[in-house]
Amino acid sequence: MRSQFRFRIRVILACVIALALLILVRLYFVQIVHGDEYALKADRQFASGSTGLFDRGAIYFTDKNGNLISAATLATGFLVAINPQLLTDPQGAYDALAAVASTTVSREAFFAAAAKKSQVYVEVAHHLPEAIGQALAALGLPGVQVLRERWRYYPGNNLAAQSIGIVSYGSGDTLVGQTGLEAQYDDVLTRSGDSLYRNFFAELFSNIGNLLVHVNDAREGDIVTTIEPEVETRLANDLAKVNQQYSSTESGGIIMDPATGAIFALANYPTYDVNSLQDINPALLSNPLVEHVHEFGSIMKPLTMTSGLDAGVITPDTTYTDTGCITVSTAKICNWDLKARGVIPMKQIILQSLNVGASWVATQLGQEKFREYFTELFGQKTGIDLPLEGRSLMSNLSKPQQVGYDTASYGQGIAVTPLQMIRAEGAIANGGVMVEPHLVSAVRLDSGIERAFDWSSTTPVFSTAAARQTTQMMVGVVDEKLQNGKAIIPTMSVAAKTGTAQLTDGHGGYYTDRFFHSFVGFFPAYNPRFIILLYTNDPKHVTYASDTLGNTFLDLTHFLIDYYQIPPDRGVPAQTTVLSV
């Protein structure tokens, strides 16, 4: 009998403890997780009873120390609405409003709304700050309502604008993500209207469930990006300077970790202010780094070289006779300066950027092998977590004419996106393995739990040996050729390649005086922390990419070395003068 009594007491005690724990968890969700939401709902004197407050998850940058910096959040203020049927003195009402908020309440909008006598609710001003909203509400004007409002706000203004994206009204009256990460992760960022009042137990156990499910299935959370705000700012500013200096049509750049695919910066110019969309050119809403394709020119040569080394049809010591110009399928292919080099080794193809040499390597590979390598590199989308990713244009590699393969070997006749290009070049930096480029590292659930995405999938393309051999050639570009050897960093190995491609004229040919410039490089060369891709489209009064982008690449390299305090990977060579760049 006593044992049964003790058992019952224990059961009751367990139930009491469980109930207490549930109450504590509920208090946590009410006061911590949803505290701000309930505070806003409690502000009855300003909240509209018929309209819910806009709600959406946040987007964060991540600084080099792992701190989260707001990229997209919610701002709270007031809107002003009128009831034209109750507004007996429109002029007097406007004068009273203008005395408090002359710059935020438009006279034209106010009187146009007041003329709509058949309506009972017309909004005339939005996004009023707290002090002005409170002052307007205190006036107590008949027919005038001052209501709480919340809207999307981007603290960085134009920082990473094309990548972060925008929200606007979809097919109905709901604000949804339209571009960038706002669109890609709309299902995660979207908040249901009844999120505060859902069944507590459903909320509790769904959050417990989130501990176990894959992050791709998570809903109603914030997203954490890999974008580093200082690096993004520096890249964006440098690109703006290049574009303005050379009057280019567009300039862009990407900074990525070639070992993980994490993108630290993704910027292009011109751009736009995400908080001011009234007069924006709709074309700026697209992301050229993801959506547009280009013929990149000679930065394709390292990929051709690595393909030949990997296939075993050449070695670094292989030589060929450079004649300056060759004829392939009735088309003439020449070096940039039309000069012959005679018998030279493979390294000189990269150091001197020789079109004839790259064409020779393509011939040694043969059409089938060349097509296999380039299809592996560019035949598929990268899988970047941004919408509307473009596809490469490589139809020349499906034709029997050898000239299509020869021109592709030095970056003409095929077009790829900047994201595809940096991913492919990253395979050289990463020991022959391509990774998944990405912008979002994790989702922070409403419960406060953070779940990381799995971006570990890789694609082996080249052998480690072949990638290293090409890297050694690219290091020579910086140490020996760039700025006539003055660009060398004695304590840091840097691998790089420039690219200058003729622009198509739209009629099957190429301009002789209009170019697309590109630059790619990574460092430390044999264990890279960063790979940088830069381009500028149609720069004026300048021919070569080393002139437009060389200094920018070197400045970014020195900035990243200093900012991340990357340790030296080599000593100061003997009899070498340390030069500042």
Task: Give the mean model confidence (pLDDT) for residues 306-310.
Answer: 98
| Span of 26-30, 77-81, 147-151 with lowest mean pLDDT | 26-30
Indicate if the pLDDT at residue 429 is higher than 60.
Answer: yes
Q: Do domains 76-154 and 231-272+286-563 have the same CATH topology?
A: no
Query: Would the CA dihedral through 363, 369, 373, 376 be positive or negative?
Result: positive
Asked if residues 386 and 290 have their Cβ atoms less than 8 Å apart, the reply is yes
Architecture of domain 76-154: Alpha-Beta Complex (3.90)
- Grade residue 202 by pLDDT with cuts at 50, 70 and 90: very low
- Grade residue 101 by pLDDT with cuts at 50, 70 and 90: confident
- CA neighbours closer than 13 Å in the CB half-sphere of residue 57: 29
- Grade residue 173 by pLDDT with cuts at 50, 70 and 90: confident
Mean pLDDT score across all residues of the chain: 89
Indicate if the pLDDT at residue 323 is higher than 70.
Answer: yes
| Span of 184-193, 492-501, 520-529 with lowest mean pLDDT | 184-193
pLDDT score recorded for residue 166:
96
pLDDT single digits (tens) 32-81: 555 555 444 444 344 444 456 889 999 999 999 999 999 999 999 999 99
Task: Give the mean model confidence (pLDDT) for residues 350-369.
Answer: 98
- Print burial letters for 355-389: b (CB count within 10 Å at least 16), e (below 16): bbbbbbbbbbbebebbbbbbebbbeeebebbbbeb
pLDDT score recorded for residue 50:
44
SS3 state at 24: helix
- Grade residue 198 by pLDDT with cuts at 50, 70 and 90: very low
pLDDT score recorded for residue 578:
39
Parse the chain into domains and list their residue ranges.
76-154, 231-272+286-563
Superfamily, domain 231-272+286-563: DD-peptidase/beta-lactamase superfamily (3.40.710.10)
pLDDT single digits (tens) 511-564: 999 999 999 999 999 999 999 999 999 999 999 999 999 999 999 999 999 999
pLDDT single digits (tens) 205-251: 444 444 433 444 545 699 999 999 999 999 999 999 999 999 999 99
Cα 48 from Cα 68, distance rounded (Å):
33
Let me know the angle formed at the C-alpha of 245 by 289 and 555, rounded to the nearest 5 degrees.
Answer: 70
pLDDT score recorded for residue 579:
37
pLDDT score recorded for residue 29:
58
SS3 state at 122: strand
Sequence-distant (≥ 6) Cβ neighbours of residue 307 within 8 angstroms? 361, 365, 369, 370, 373, 374, 462
The DSSP call for residue 318 is: -
pLDDT score recorded for residue 47:
43
- β-pair partners for 254: 266, 533
- pTM comes to 0.86
| Span of 153-157, 191-195, 542-546 with lowest mean pLDDT | 191-195
pLDDT score recorded for residue 241:
98
Percentage of the chain exceeding pLDDT 70: 85
